[in-house]
Each structure stands twice: as structure tokens, then as C-alpha cells.
Amino acid sequence: MNRTVTPGRETTARSAGTRPADSPGARPTAPPSGRPGPSTPGTRPSRAVAWAELLRLPALFTVPGDALAGAAAAGARPGPRTLLAIGSSLCLYEAGMALNDWADRAEDAVERPHRPLPSGRIRPAAALTAAGVLTGAGLALAAGAGRPAVAVAAPLAATVWAYDLALKHTPAGPAAMAAARGLDLLLGAATTGGGTRAALPSAALLGSHTLAVTAVSRRETTGGSVLAPLAALATTGALTGLVARRRTRLPAGRRAAAAPGLPGSILAPTVPGVSGSGPVSAAPGVLGSGVPGVSGSGPVSGVPGVSGSCPASAAPGLSGSGPVSGVPGLSGSGPASAAPRLFGAAPPSAAADVLAAALGAAYAATAARPYLHAVLNPSPPLTQRAVGGGIRATIPLQAALAARSGARGAGVTALLVAALAPAGRLFARRSAMRKVSIT
């Protein structure tokens, strides 16, 4: 992670006969003892600034979107438990950052001596203690959200520690990082009570992006790799096309089993007041087990493929002789624009499709350009810029995943996630931490 050198440090470097750290081609050096040299009051960064650098605070803005996108993918609106999931994610993310620098302190002394540990601004024992405390806090917050959340948070914490301590410098490193990000999204889904299965596609897409960014970051100090940014560029293009497509999902607890051998059919044996009720065959898109409270004796005419004598004289919005315009959840048999209170799923919305496409385009614009520059010139500065672009692109990707879910309130959730991007940039500018690394 590149840092901005203060005027006091530049003066100290010049007095020692060395080039300042921000001069072309220069690399900041640490004193032989590993401790910062003598400095006058006001020139040494405060302890708070050192911890902010260690924990990569600007990167924190990429974390809440995981839980929010996971909740949307599970078909739920964010709630109090989602806040617990976000808190757990933030703690586990920061634990990984502190543990990362503790594990790489020897390597950073050579390649990144400006970081808080090799420069002596934070003791290694303090960083390791912080990693342990933050991990415990993350698991405790997940426990407050319920057992399903703990069942996801525990392997997430294990993945974070395994990556930093053992897997980071192995071929399995990028895959481990991708798994951690995917599990973080599933943590948001687990807190909704709807299960994590519906969120698996979104977790896979987010994990693919993280895999690409991590692969590029492995050469950010040496450069020279064209393959990694090229693969990341191709991944960005593929993900952009995928997130623009609306998911077709069945609401949890409302799935209807099709009759064997009859595609698209459902059974409706429990419709009270319906004479001649029974299997309703070949009615495409009909979910649930019937319309309660329907009485009368006239068949539903104008609904393609509905057989039997299901009356509809009391069904709201049904004239009995035309398309179904007031029964929510019926698709393929006329307009279905009514509020979907019966089956709990929002109808397809052109606005939601436009929002998902716009957020997908924002994701591509954020990530593709720095990746392309790194492909054309794989120097360390441009590779680092590509990594930064990939990290920033995580937020619009999370927002696009939320928008494409089709859940109630998904548009509001997506816009809330997207708002984290400008907030993160503003924080980075004010804290003079514009370049953030995940390694």
C-alpha cells in the first residue's frame, strides 16, 4: 500500500543523504533497527493513523455490500439481523487485514518498509492481538444473528486465518480469498432466515471477481504479468453481462411442485369454496396452492391452459371472461401487474432491469480501464492501480447483484450499496489513503 510522505519525513530523508520516498524511482527505507528514527513533534504519524493504515480503513466501504447483496439474493429486505451480519463482516475483514501484515512482516520489511509493522509504528504482538480480538467480536456478532449466521461465520473466519497464515503464497491463495468473499455474502443471506441456497449464484459471481483481483494483486510490487490483468479484464466482461440479467427465482416457502409428467402444472387440492377443484394443469407461472376464498360456479374463461371448473366470481379483478389482470403471481396468462401480496415476489420491473444494467456498466467502467492499462504496460504502478480499481469495483458489483435479485426493496438496497462508493472515495481523499492494497 503506497503512503503519502509528510514534509517532515522528506526533510529527514534528505538530511540523511537519501532520496525522499516520493521521488521517482525511490523506495522508502526503514532504520536498521526496524524502529522509526528520531523525529520532531508533529512529524511522526499518530498511532491512530498507523492503525488506520494497518486496517486499510478505506477498503471497509467494500464490506457492507456483501451482507446487503446476500439478503437481497435470499429475497429479504435488510433488517436488524442484517446489521449484525454487517458488523460481523467488518470485524472479520479487519481481523484479516491485521493478521495479513503480521504474517508478512518479514516480507514487508523488504518490499513495503513504509507499512506500520516494519516501520515500527505498531508492534507485531499488538497486530496479532487485534486480529484475535476482532475475530472473536465477529463471531460474537454472528451469534447474535442466530445459528445459521454462525454456521457461515465460523468457516469464514477459518478461511481468513488459513489464507493469511498458510495459503496466501500458494496457488490456492486467490481461491481462498474468493471463498472468503463469497462466504461473506452468504452470511448476509443466512441472517434472513430464508437459507443460503438462493444466494449461491450471487456468491459465485462476487467470488469470481475477487479471484481475478487477488490474482492481479500478487504481482503488484514486481509487475511484469500480462496474463493476470488480461484474465481479470475478461472476467469483468463476463460478469457485466451476467449481472445485467434478471434472476428467475421462486420465493422461499412458496414453491409449487409440478405434477409428474405435466410441465408447468401445479396441484390445487386445498382451494376452499372451489367446485371441481383439483389439478390445474398447463398454467404457466402459477405459484402457490390456489386462491383462497373463491366462490361461485362459473369457469374462468380467457385463461390459457386452465382446465376444470375453477370458479372465479369472487376473485378480485377477475371479470370471468378475459385476461387475468388482478390475480398476483399469474404469469403467462395475461397481465399480472397487481401487487404480489399472495405469493410474496415482486413482478418483473423494467426499472429494476435498467438499474441492474446501469450498475453493471458502472462496475465495468470502474474495473476494466485500469485492467487494460496493466495489460498494455504491466509495470508495478499500473498493476497497483489495477488492484485499486478492482477493489473499488466491488461496490457497484454488489449493488448490481442486489438489483438483479428481484426481491422486494432490492432497488433501494442496491442504491444504498452504490452510495458507499462515493463515500469511500471521499474518506480516502480526506485521510490521504487513496491507494489501498489487499496484500
Residue 302: the pLDDT is 42
Q: Predicted confidence band at 247 (pLDDT cuts at 50, 70, 90)?
A: low
Overall average pLDDT of the 217-227 stretch: 88
Residue 252 scores a pLDDT above 50:
no
Half-sphere exposure of 325 (CA within 13 A, CB side): 6
Backbone angles phi, psi at 265, to 5 degrees: -90, 160
Return the H-helix or E-strand segment holding 108: helix 105-111
Three-state DSSP at 356 gives helix
Bridge partners, residue 267, by sequence: 279
- Look up cell 463515500; give the residue: 423
- Which grid cell is 149? 449466521
The listed range with the strongest mean pLDDT (278-282, 341-345, 350-354) is 350-354
Residue 369: the pLDDT is 95
More confident of the two residues 63 and 344: 63
Q: What's the predicted TM-score (pTM) here? A: 0.69
Q: Predicted confidence band at 220 (pLDDT cuts at 50, 70, 90)?
A: confident
Overall average pLDDT of the 62-87 stretch: 95
CB atoms within 10 A of CB 344: 17
pLDDT digits 0-9 by tens, 291-314: 444 444 444 444 444 444 444 434
CA distance 261 to 283: 14
Own/partner long-range contacts of 144-149 (Cβ < 8 Å, ≥24 apart):
144/84, 145/81, 145/84, 145/85, 145/88, 145/190, 145/191, 146/81, 146/190, 146/191, 146/193, 148/190, 148/191, 148/193, 148/195, 148/196, 149/81, 149/84, 149/85, 149/88, 149/187, 149/190, 149/191
Residue 246 scores a pLDDT above 60:
yes
Residue 439: the pLDDT is 59
CA distance 380 to 376: 12
Q: Which of 160-164, 208-212, 406-410 bottoms out in mean pLDDT, i.e. has the lowest? A: 406-410
Q: Predicted confidence band at 12 (pLDDT cuts at 50, 70, 90)?
A: very low
| Angle, helices 380-403/410-418, rounded to nearest 10 degrees | 160
Residue 194: the pLDDT is 67
